Amino acid sequence: MGQIKTIQMESEFDKNLYRPNVGIILLNTEGKVFVAQRIDALVPSWQMPQGGIDDGESITQAALRELKEETSITHVRVEKIFPQDEKSWFVYDFPTDLQKKIWDGKFQGQCQKWVVLRFLGKDQDVILETDHPEFSEWKWILPSELPLISVPFKRDIYQFLSLSMDSLL
């Protein structure tokens, strides 16, 4: 997988170049994954919820906050954090044209931890019309579909996560 790498945070991570981020793998009772269509995308751009980690926030706190901010979902159970090693993070670079646009060019990419959450609510609990909407629509998909729906620069991480889904559960 070309663009994704795993790094040891303390030895290789430069927080001036890579934005600390948490990704959320939200699974329903059927084992399907929640994805949503970005509201600001010029082309179809589906993704799992994700967002920055605030200073002083744990990985789990960031995941629960981001999920609530983006989808209004609060009824979940934390299953796992991936990668589990506290010092390991997934890293990917933004495409060159996006590096200059996203966060005023401050970051060249993101480093991520992924949190697997089990959805305990009902589909009616999903409300995308939040204070700062990021998504226009949502759906549940099979884990194997993740690489097919993602933007190219996230495809490697989505492929890796879809292939790792058995070990994540």
Question: What is the number of structural domains in the chain?
Answer: 1
Q: Average pLDDT by consecutive 10-residue portion of the chain (169 residues)?
A: 47 74 96 95 88 95 98 97 86 83 81 95 97 96 94 88 81
pLDDT at residue 91 in the model: 85
- For the beta carbon of residue 84, count every other beta carbon within 10 angstroms: 9
pLDDT at residue 8 in the model: 44
pLDDT at residue 16 in the model: 78
| DSSP annotation string for 40-104 | T-SS--EE--EEEPPTT--HHHHHHHHHHHHH----EEEEEEES-STTEEEEEEPPHHHHTTGGG
The residue whose two tokens read 């949503």 is 36
pLDDT at residue 32 in the model: 96
CATH code, 55: 3.90.79.10
Q: How would you classify the pairing of strands 5-8 and 33-38?
A: unpaired
Prediction pTM value: 0.90
Instruction: Domain of residue 14: give its range.
Output: 5-168
- What is the Rg, in whole angstroms, of the alpha carbon atoms belonging to the chain? 15
Nearest Cα neighbor of 67 from 6, 4, 138, 15 is 138
pLDDT at residue 10 in the model: 42
